[in-house]
Structure 1
Amino acid sequence: MIYEIALLPIHIEQANAFKHAFAEVAPLLCRAKGYAGHMLAQGIEAPEVFNLIVQWESLEDHTPGFEASEDHRVFMLRLEEFFADEPTVYHIEGAGIG
C-alpha cells in the first residue's frame, strides 16, 4: 500500500466551508482507480493545516493516475479557493493499520 499525505494550508476563517466543500468533492476521489480509503483531519497545534491521508493500491494509481484525471482537476478547482498556500504532498509505503 501507498499513502499519499497532503498538508493543506487553508484560510482558518474558512475551515467549516472547506470541510463542506471537501465532502462535496470526496466522491471524485473515492471512485478513482486504486483508491483504498482516506482520512481528512484538522491539525490541533496548527488548525489552519488540514492533513489528507489517502491510501492507494500503488503510486501509479495516484500519480499519474488520479492526478492526471478530469476528476482531479475538478476536485482541486473546487478546493483551491480555500488554500492559503500551496499544498505539500508526499508518499510513504506501508501496511495498513489493524
Structure 2
Amino acid sequence: MIKEVAFFHIKKELLAEFEEAFHQAAHVIASVPGYINHSIHRCIETDTKYMIIVEWENVESHMVNFVQSPLFEEWDKQMGRFFEPNVTMDHYVTVHPSKH
C-alpha cells in the first residue's frame, strides 16, 4: 500500500462550496481499481489550504488506473474549478508504523 499526499489551495471565492463538492465527487476516486481509502484535511493556519491523503494498492493504481482513465476527466470536470494552480503531490510508503 502507498499513500498519495497532495497539497493544494482552493480559490477563496469557492471555499464555501468546496468541501460539499468534494464529498459529492469522492465516489469517482472510490470507484478506481486499486483505491483503498482517502481523507481530506483543512489547514488551521491557512483556510484555503488543504491536504488529501489517498491510499492506493500501488503507484500504478493512482497514476494509471486513475490519472490515465476517463475517471480522471470526470473528477477534473467536477473539481478542477476549485483549485488554484501549483498543486503538489507525491507518493509515500510507510517505513515505521505505530504500534499503539
- Confirm or deny that 1:67 pairs with 2:72: no
Counterpart position of 1:92: 92
User: How many residues of Structure 1 are paired with residues of Structure 2 in the alignment?
Assistant: 98
Structure 1 stretch displaced more, 57-66 or 88-97: 88-97
- Confirm or deny that 1:55 pairs with 2:55: yes
Counterpart position of 2:26: 26
Report the aligned-residue RMSD: 1.7
CA distance in structure 2 between the aligned counterparts of 1:79 and 1:61, rounded to whole angstroms: 20
Q: Is the 8 A contact 1:10 1:85 kept in 2?
A: no
* Equivalent position amino acid for 1:72 in 2: F
Which stretches of structure 1, 4 residues or longer, exceed 6 Å deviation after superposition? 95-98
Helix, strand or coil at the partner of 1:46:
coil
| TM norm structure 2 | 0.87
Counterpart position of 1:39: 39
Residue 13 of structure 1, CA deviation: 3.6
Q: Percent identity?
A: 28
CA distance in structure 2 between the aligned counterparts of 1:47 and 1:37, rounded to whole angstroms: 24
Structure 1 stretch displaced more, 7-16 or 44-53: 7-16
Can you give the 5+ residue segments of structure 1 that lack an aligned partner in the other structure?
A: none
| TM norm structure 1 | 0.89
Query: Rg bigger for which structure?
Result: 2
Helix, strand or coil at the partner of 2:14:
helix
Residue 63 of structure 1, CA deviation: 0.8
